[in-house]
Structure 1
Amino acid sequence: MLILQGCSDTSGLEASWQDYLSRLSRVLDRDISRDPSGEVLHFPRTRDIAMTFAPSNIDILDFLRMRRCALRETIAQRNSILGRHGDESAKLLFDLRFLNEARECIQLLKDDGNDSLASQLSDAARLKQQELPKRIFAAGIAGDEFREFWKMPPDLRDYPSSGEDPSIAALARWQRWQQRWLAGNWEHDANDVLTTLGHIRMGGGGSLLKAEELNTRELRAAAKLIDQRISGRALCLKPSPTSSAQQFRNVLGSRFIGVIQQQASLINQHKYGLLKNIDTIENELFSAMAAQDAEVPQAYLNWLSQRTALLANATKAHQRHVKLAGELLSQCGLSPGGNSP
């Protein structure tokens, strides 16, 4: 009764699998056997993906000589206690603001005859531009907001949902901004950037990973049940449907196709909405880092490889389940579409 109540909720992914596998087990007269749970995928530790940056070469005396520059206020804020201890997103905003204001300040210094300081500031701006891909990495995909985005929830009570994930639009904005910043257009709205990161933080990347872990494990368990009847005692001794074969097809239609594949469709929509932006963000940023001889931390590359494998395994498990189910139906003279000979 509890199982049926759980399945009445279209977001009850665990309950749907429990119901489907228990029905499949009864129809096929086989016990459910699940693979042991693998290691949970965790986002890399902060220290394992931290970036190092060159220290500023502008001292307090140089700073005082920038009296006509808006950059002077920016540097003052950066050198304040709040600025020195800001998070990675605050440091990115400072560097973008620095790069935006440096050009005008360099010209003003030249006009005032401070060619030496103008040259020093040019070197500082050039260094910040070279380090910008690393700064975007630290504040973006390696930052606290993305860490929360990928954090797996304790359960999947509200997943999958037909509602829009707020992080999808936020990721699209971040990708556009990142592309502009890397191209040398450092215009930005600080409040907009922080708000967008906040929306990314609220996203369901972790729910997606947890759901695909669950789907893979349960699809493999279902495949074992079906494979046992294909390779062992036949469900049908000749290609004509028995009552058990008809029940098997009904379970496939009502529970797998009618419930689980509907949930899988929502998950796939969510996955596409997230990954089309995340993949672009990662690929463009990695290329920019490589152009500046900046290495992506191995811990992040390992995490990315594991994340990709997890999602690919879910797809493979689904394809194998469908293939085996079709083989067993064919053994009994039935087709997945529901028409018996």
Structure 2
Amino acid sequence: MLLASTIAACTDNSPLATQWQDYQSRLARVLQRQAEPHRDIAFPHMPKPRELPLEFSDSGIDLLDFLRMRRCALRDTIAQRNSILGRHGDAAARLIFDLRFISQAATCQKILEDDGLIALAAQLKTATQTKQRELPARIFAASLTGPEFRQFWQMPVDLNVYPLKGKDPSLAALARWRQWQTEWLSEPQVTAAWSSIEWQQFSDTLLNTLGEIRLGAGGSMLAAQQLNVNGLIGASSIIAQRVNGRPLCLKPQPIPAAEHFRGALSSVFISQLQAQASRINQHQFAVMAVIGSIEHDVLAAMTKNNLAIPSAFIEWQTQRDSLLFVTTEAQRHHVTLASALLSQCGLSPGN
């Protein structure tokens, strides 16, 4: 009963959970030991939005300044940003406005200088430099702590459709976002000649990309690895009691219990759990390769520009990565223990 409640407490009635229940039950029966109580590894929930505060500067351009920008495309961008829709837009919308502002500012600055508005041109230059410095934080807010990435990492209701049978639908979108982010952090002004229609098309594409990221299975991957590590810890504790305590075999010769143990390893752990783990690990590698690159680059840019990174995000990131690391180590430890017990009974681990 303790064994069943331990497994059930950390997941659902998915096939993966059922396999762990079956495996631990068979180990307990064959080895005549029970899983030792342990503290379950927790699911790494993302911090709530209020725990991830960010501060941004105002452009400092007032209404009179705005009216004097009559020949600048930037004027339309500022008008949209100051509209009701712009003021109440989410982080992704604000990122789009800032990208437009930065890309259009240099052309507008030259126009203002040609019109003799030297002070306003200098004011615009300062505002642009501020937006460029704060751009990494805008990207951070629109992506890593935005609603779409939050949904990507959300704990699933169950794991009945995980591991995925096909490719994660978010991977292409994440790769696209990583490419855009690289461009934004290096040359955010290269789209200065875009028309309003082109900016609208880009805006739609960006928002659609975030929508595709929302559909990803990052949270399912974490939940599966949480289930795996807790299952491994319990199963390893059963085997360890025979390896480190009273031996299963007094001589290096197989007995019926040892053959049953090898059968459980083969039919459940290797054929089922290991096969599932391989698919989960492949998904994890694909996800973390692109996510890790996105996180590293934007956090490095924030640090370089002296922009505060919310400590709650770093703590969550550390907890998430720790879960993935501990799962790998628990896997290796379990295989080592199982091999030791097989060798104790004169059975080759390779067989």
Post-superposition offset of 1:34 = 4.5
Q: Is the 8 A contact 2:41 2:323 kept in 1?
A: no
Structure 1 stretches of 5 or more lacking a match?
A: 4-10
Q: Is the 8 A contact 1:68 1:108 kept in 2?
A: yes
User: In 2, Cα distance between the equivalents of 1:38 and 1:233?
Assistant: 28
User: In 2, Cα distance between the equivalents of 1:181 and 1:271?
Assistant: 27
User: In 2, Cα distance between the equivalents of 1:39 and 1:314?
Assistant: 12
- The residue number in structure 1 matching 2:266 is 253
Post-superposition offset of 1:48 = 1.5
Normalising by structure 2, what TM-score? 0.90
Indicate the SS of the match to 1:266.
Answer: helix
Find out whether 1:273 has 2:276 as its counterpart: no
Post-superposition offset of 1:38 = 4.5
Find out whether 1:49 has 2:52 as its counterpart: yes
User: In 2, Cα distance between the equivalents of 1:168 and 1:247?
Assistant: 42
Find out whether 1:98 has 2:101 as its counterpart: yes
Find out whether 1:151 has 2:154 as its counterpart: yes
Find out whether 1:63 has 2:62 as its counterpart: no
Q: Is the 8 A contact 1:24 1:248 kept in 2?
A: yes
User: In 1, Cα distance between the equivalents of 2:61 and 2:119?
Assistant: 12
Match of 1:35 among 11, 35, 38: 38
Find out whether 1:130 has 2:133 as its counterpart: yes
Indicate the SS of the match to 1:166.
Answer: coil
Match of 2:320 among 295, 307, 313: 307
Q: Is the 8 A contact 2:143 2:149 kept in 1?
A: yes
- The residue number in structure 2 matching 1:328 is 341
Deviation track 1:146-173 (CA, whole Å, cap 9, x = no partner) reads: 1111110121111112311111111111
User: In 2, Cα distance between the equivalents of 1:139 and 1:127?
Assistant: 18
Aligned length, in residue pairs: 329
- The residue number in structure 2 matching 1:287 is 300
Identity %: 52
Post-superposition offset of 1:39 = 4.2
Q: CA RMSD in A?
A: 1.5
Q: Which runs of 4+ in 1 moved over 6 A?
A: none
Q: Give the stretch that moved more between structures: 216-225 or 23-32.
A: 23-32
User: In 2, Cα distance between the equivalents of 1:100 and 1:35?
Assistant: 55
- The residue number in structure 2 matching 1:17 is 20
Find out whether 1:263 has 2:263 as its counterpart: no
Deviation track 1:233-277 (CA, whole Å, cap 9, x = no partner) reads: 321111111111111111111111111011001111110111001
Match of 1:214 among 199, 210, 227: 227
Post-superposition offset of 1:232 = 2.6
- The residue number in structure 2 matching 1:161 is 164
Q: Is the 8 A contact 2:102 2:188 kept in 1?
A: no
Q: Is the 8 A contact 2:41 2:230 kept in 1?
A: no
Normalising by structure 1, what TM-score? 0.93
Post-superposition offset of 1:219 = 0.2
User: In 2, Cα distance between the equivalents of 1:37 and 1:326?
Assistant: 25
